[in-house]
Amino acid sequence: IVYWQILDMYKAFYAVDNVHEAIENLVMTTLRSTIGQLELDETYASRDRINQNLLQQLDDASADWGVKVMRVEVQEIKPPQTIIDALEKERAAKSEKQAKILQAEGTVESIQMISKALEEESNTQKVLQFLIAQRYVEANEKLGESSNSKVVFMDPKALSEAMTDLLQTESAGQSN
């Protein structure tokens, strides 16, 4: 909203074709210029500063037309939908990033706890067998979650025996 007053009727009539339209165009260009220099968040926070800047620039420019701009009020700042969508995507990406960071930190902590338990546990082989069996079950769950048909030819006992043999070979190699 712009409050203005004609001080010199002659200038208002002859210095410009249509004083109302000229002020309206001047407001739009000045507003775009002023807001274009600010960040979007800053635009919302500094409405008074925008009003003062507009008042000064409009009053200076309209003085030659015999017009005095008394007051300027920016009532609503509404960015285009594309900018709103972009900001929403940015917020969603930040949230997703934070969630992935927290998940990774949790995984690291879990691995560290398992490693510590393996170091402290005298029965390491049984713990490893349990962990392998647990991962096997988790992998099969994920495999079964998809809608595609799958056939898995795997004997859990054979997996367990293969891992036991591997661990025995490893512990025999360490004792040598």
Q: What is the CATH number of domain 2-72?
A: 3.30.479.30
Break the chain into its structural domains and give their ranges.
2-72, 79-118, 121-176
pLDDT at 121: 62
Among the ranges 20-24, 77-81, 96-100, which has the highest mean pLDDT value? 96-100
- 101-140 tens-digit pLDDT: 999 999 899 888 877 877 776 667 777 777 777 787 787 7
Lowest mean pLDDT among 68-82, 87-101, 144-158: 144-158
Lowest mean pLDDT among 29-33, 130-134, 138-142, 156-160: 156-160
- Which residues lie below 8 Å from residue 164, measured CB to CB, with a gap of 6+? 125, 129
Q: How many CB atoms lie within 10 A of CB 57?
A: 19
- Whether 63 contacts 7, CB under 8 Å: no
- Whether 35 contacts 22, CB under 8 Å: no
- Per the prediction, the chain carries an average pLDDT of 80
pTM score, whole prediction: 0.47
Q: Give the CB-side neighbour count of residue 139, counting CA atoms within 13 A.
A: 9
